[in-house]
Every structure is written in structure tokens, then in C-alpha cells.
Chains A and B, each alone.
Chain A
Amino acid sequence: MSNKILQKKALIPGQTSLLVIDAPQIAKKAKPGNFVILRIHDKGERVPLTIADTDPEAGTITIVYLVVGKSSALLETLKEGEIILDVCGPLGKPTHIEKCGTVICVGGGTGIAAMHHIAKGHHKAGNHVVAIVGARSKDLLLFCDELGGFCPELLIATDDGSSGHKGFVTDVLRDRLEKDKDVTEVVAIGPVPMMEAVAKVTKPFGVRTVVSLNSIMVDGVGMCGACRCNVGGETRFACVDGPEFDGHKVDFNELRMRLAQYKNQENESMDLFRREHGN
């Protein structure tokens, strides 16, 4: 596995990019829902990122990331042809996919990329896939062309109304669920508040709802417990038992507070990075 970046595409310049990486062994094994852990330099931390697509024949995996802190900013400095120091995977349990009827896949922000891989899996399994995507405005929407390519329905929500419904994905979702009582499953991937809101909307409909938890991870193979979360009163490790769990059982409050535990250090790290990179 050379870990070479074969292709880099700025989806939202300076904010979100897509990388196609040469990693044949991971491409061969990865299924929708899996993630990888990267390290970008020899003093780097281990960063989990969802596998947004694979091409087993070409031996490549695709990742899409949002620049939020030092590690993602460092990743953004890499160019086509450069090598990512460590790429480890595929990790996590793959999405449970079977032929089951109509599945609504909801994606928000960068989460749309990860959702796309799962939607594709459901499509391949013969399900009727409804994709609902949301972002603040039209320019921040990702993967709409790809999703439009295989989803019979693609519904859009933007905060400012620049594309599709003006408002949240949850409005569109509620609407869609009210119209159609035969939806078997809802999958939601995106920011924690979005996943929590989706779970709240689907609850009264009694529709099975899968969310993908992005808790803080260290090893990603079940050896440290950093990623633990509370699902239905039980402690589960997101990296090996998940990352997907029943959205109606997840303690989102706990997740939120655990995600924020290194805020001060993350800011310190980012400030240092900015000073070193002169901006």
C-alpha cells in the first residue's frame, strides 16, 4: 500500500477536500460504514475518517474531510502525488445492509460523503433509496451529482433557501415520513445535533434509525475505550461495536461533552499551526 494521494479535489475550497488514495488492501476489504485512521506526519495524532467510496479494481479509497483543526489542516497541505504516512483500516463494523424496501439516507455537511457510500450500498442491495442532504447554503452541498445518479429521490434542504427547501433536513424528513408509512429505515450521518434531531423526528414514526457516531478515538481497534459511548444504558466502543448505533438509544448529551474534552488543547495546537504556517 503506497498511501499515495492519486487525486485531490477541493469540494469547498479551503474547507472540504476529497482525496483518492492508493490503498489496494483496504479497498479490497472495505464496506460501506467502515473508516480508516490516518497519521499525517511522524509527530501526528491518529485521525479517523470515513471511507466515502472505494474502487477495489483500481485499488483506491476515497476520503472527504472538513478542515476543523490542526490535523485536518495538515492533511489539507498535502498535494496530489504526496504520501500519507499511515493509513490503517478498514475499521469499524460495516453498515448492516439487506434488501428491506425503502431507506431514507440523511446527510449533513461533510457527513454527506460518508452517507453517500451507505446509500450506494443500499441501492446495490435493491432498496429504494431516498437521499436527503442539507447544508447552510447551496455551495456547501456535496455529492449531489453522485447521489442523483443512483437515488430515485434526492431531496435538498439549505438554511438560506439557495437550493431546495429553506430550512433543515429534519423538516424534509418529517414531511417524507408523513407521506409514506412504508419507510423501513432511516440512516443519518452528519453533525451531532443533526443526528440527534433526526432521531427525535423518526421516534414517533417508530422507524428504525441508524446514526454514525464520530466519538474521539485513539487506536480505533478496541484497545483504549476513548470512543466509548452510552447506547441504551450500556457502554459501547464506537470503533469496534459501531460506529453505527440505534439513534433512539444513543445518549447524545454524553457524546457531545466527550467530544469537547480537548477543546483547549485543540485550540492551542491550531494556533501553533497557524503561527508556523504564517496565517
Chain B
Amino acid sequence: MAIKKKFNPIRTPMPEQPADVRNKNFKEVALGYSREQAIEEANRCIQCKVPLCQKGCPVEIDIKSFVGHLAAGDVPSAYRVLKETNALPAVCGRVCPQETQCEGSCILGKKHEPVAIGRLERFVADTFDSDSACEMITGHTACSLPNDQVKVACIGSGPSSLTVAGYLAARGVPVTIYEALHEIGGVLVYGIPEFRLPKAVVAREVGALWAKGVTFMPNWVGGKTITIQDLIDDGFDAVFIGVGAGLPWFLNIPGENLVGVYSSNEYLTRINLGRAYDFPNYDTPAPRPRNVAVIGGGNVAMDAARTALRLGAENVYITYRRTQDEMPARLEELHHAIEEGVQLELLTSPIAINGDENSHVKSMTLQVMELGEPDASGRRRPVAVKGKTKELEVDMVILAVGTGANPVLLEATPGLNLSKSGYIDANPETGETSIPNVFAGGDIVGGSATVISAMGAGRKAAKTIAERLKVEL
């Protein structure tokens, strides 16, 4: 296909709720393309001979082909292509950092705006009724062909485990997922807020796995309720560990235990898992601050800040020690946050949180920074401007400064080798750990990363497991 005469250098805009409406509700910000918009955007793809986009996707979706089907209006075929490699397209279309992955590699991006691959992926997944997914992929209901000779367990129910389950279930392998919390989906349900990834979208993808025969065991804590040795003794042929990087980091600055100081994990878990935005209809309480500071510059910081705005805070600041250009958040999230009224306090680093006579946060002291020489990662290192500080009056502080490996399962698993930073040491090709037939992937191996990289790791491990169990199609 040659470039059309009427080629539009600008991608089809995404319909969105207006910023001043959405910053007061929890409904999804991006509304999704209409059929016409999706087909129009799909037609911007020039169907490259050597499609660069596919290389940019960690699970190597055949983007050219799915976009091609969509351009022709054939949603089921487009969906079939997506599901071949991606168990959760409706999720990825919403939360992947496309600008550094598929879209970042799209050839059109050299001169114009790249094809909006993520938005198209979302459209196809939302449009296609996922109930029939398993028939679509296998040509028969995979659920009806269980292989009772083998079984596999996953610990944790985030995207890495869900991918393992999807891959193996499609091959007839019964999979049981053990999850510590009471809802299935990992960070997709307790971290990423409703306005970015509606719970119903996750529930639909999880429902499709359930229909394929995957068993979910919420409220089972790996290492406490059940150990890996118990699972092996119970006859599981392989175990996949996908417990994420759920240990919140603090900064060890004075005042961190004052009332009103939260880890982003606690704040978002209260709101998303506990539905505290709907208190007292739901029982979990959430703080009701007026002025909020969020420390950090990633997706998590953006989510926490935008959540606080929606819950009625008057001023929400994001404090970050470098500049806007270095923020690791998805570009779209940063733009959305600014549009909605989040204020950036750039080149600042917190040195103390100060309390009132009731031990409640009343302000935060920030060290003013400037950019110095580039560090090992090539980013200019922030250095303190000597003697220059400022005070920010806030009654709540949320720390979104990263997470580490949660030790609960690891400490209960003798023989499991860990890396220096406490994550699981797994073979990068197969996902296998130091314990034979025990695999690991996602954030518990590489540290916090992305949904799609966790899924990529799950897929690798599932492939190896399928080969070992001799069920590979």
C-alpha cells in the first residue's frame, strides 16, 4: 500500500472527558475510538515491508497484520492476531508506554505522528467479545479439553501470572492461581486507578481465563498459607512466581511516620482495592486532605496525584528532583495530570516532613536542586543547591519513590537464589529459578517495570513449561 494522497500526518485524536469534568470523577479519562475513528487511524498505517513497530513490542504482536485487518474493518481477525501473543490486549492498549515501545518504533514517527497502535489495540479488544476468545484462538473450546495428567500453580495474580495461565490454559493445562489479596489482577486492580484502567476491563480479561478453566484462589498467601514445597508435594508439575515488587520504599527522612504520610501503595490500595473513594458506602476510610504533595515522577506518582485531585484536594503538587523531561511516567499521564490541575514542583527533593502538635503533617521542607553532570545512565544528575530550601504547606504527603522485593514468599522458600538487590534470580531465557521447575517473572525478577514486560516474562516461562510438559501446540 502506498502512502495515500490524503495522508494525515496527525494521528486521530482520542476522545476524552474534559479536564475540568474528569478531575472530579473516577470514570475513565480516555473514552476510546469510535469504529470510524479506529478505521481511519488504522488506515494511516503504510503496511511496511519490514515493520519496525513489531520489534518495539515486548511480546512482538504482529502489529502490521492486526492494524491491516482493522483497516479493512475486520475486527475478529484483528483480535485473533492480538490474542495470539497478548493475553490482555484491553489492558495493554491502555497502559503500555507506547511512545518508547511499539509507537516509538513506528516508521511514521520519523517525520509525522506514529500510528496510534495502543489506541487501536484497545479498540479491537473492547469491541471483540472476549467470551469467545478461547474458541477464536484454538478453533475449539480449549476449556473442554483439559489435560488431567499435569497441573501448574501460579503465585500472585498480576499480569505475569495471568499470561502464564492464559498460555497454558489454551493448551489444556489446568492452572491454579494463588493470590494474597481478595481480588484478582495484581497492580491492575489495586494500583492503577479506575479512571485509567476500569476494573471492569480487568474483570473481563480475568473472566475469559476463568472460562478457560483457570482456578483462582484469593486470600492465599504464598509462603504463609501455602509454600512452594507444599505445591510441589501436592503434585504441581511447575510453579510460576509472579508476586510483583510490592515492598514500598520510604526515604528515611524525619517525619515519615507522621499521620498523613502515606506510601503510594497504601494510598492507592485503600482507594482502588478498598474503594475508599466511595466511603462510607464502602468501609475502608481514606484521608481527606486539602493540600497534597506527591514525591516522585513516575506513573505511580501521577496516579496518586490525580486520585487526590478527584477526591477533592485543593492543591496537589508533584515534587521531583529532576525536570519534566526526565520524568519516567508515560507522556500521556503527565499531560493529563497537568491538564487536570496537578502542579509540578520540579528540581526539589524532600528533606523533612514537619508535624503539628497532634503529630499531623503540616508542611514539607524541600531542598532545591539543579542539574549537574550526566550520571552513568546518561541523565544529568540532580545536585543540591547549597543552603537553598523551601517550605510547602501540605496536610498530606504521598511517597511514590519506588518499591522493592517483598520478602514474605522469598524468606519461606529455602533454595531460591536471589540477586544482590533481593529480587529472584531467574534464567532470562526460560524464567527458571534455582529450584527446578519453579519459574519466576515480572517485577519480582526485574524490579518494577511495565505490564507488558511482566507479560513478556510470563510468556517465556509459560513456553518453557509447555515444552517440558509436552503440551506445546
Residues of A within 8 A of B (CB): 25-26, 29, 39, 43-46, 70-71, 85-91, 218-219, 221-226, 228-230, 235, 240, 253-254, 257-258, 260-262, 265-266, 268-269, 272
Contacts and interface: CB of A to CB of B under 8 A. Distances in A.
A219 B181 contact: yes
Given A25-B225, A71-B283, A218-B269, A224 B248 contact: yes
Q: Is the interface of A mostly helix, strand, loop or mixed?
A: mixed
Contacts of B248: 223-225
Given A88-B225, A258-B259, A265 B219 contact: no
Nearest to B286: A265
Interface stretch (B45-53, B108-116, B274-282, B334-342): B274-282
B224 interface: yes
A26 B225 CA distance: 6
B224 A43 contact: no
A218 B182 CA distance: 12
Given A85-B182, A222-B406, A229-B257, 11 more contacts: A25-B220, A25-B225, A39-B182, A44-B283, A91-B221, A223-B247, A224-B263, A225-B262, A226-B266, A261-B287, A269-B283
A211 B48 CA distance: 68
B182 A268 contact: no
Interface string B443-456: 00000000000000
Nearest to A271: B280
A43 B275 contact: yes
A12 to B, nearest CB: 24
B225 A219 contact: no
B266 A272 contact: no
B274 A218 contact: yes
Nearest to A227: B266
Contacts of B274: 45-46, 218
Given A45-B284, A265-B285, A225 B266 contact: yes
Contacts of A88: 180, 182, 219-221, 225
Contact of B266 (A44, A85, A224): A224
Nearest to A230: B257
Contacts of A219: 180-181, 269
Contacts of B219: 86-88
A254 B255 CA distance: 11
Contacts of A261: 259-260, 287
B198 interface: no
B179 to A, nearest CB: 10
B385 interface: no
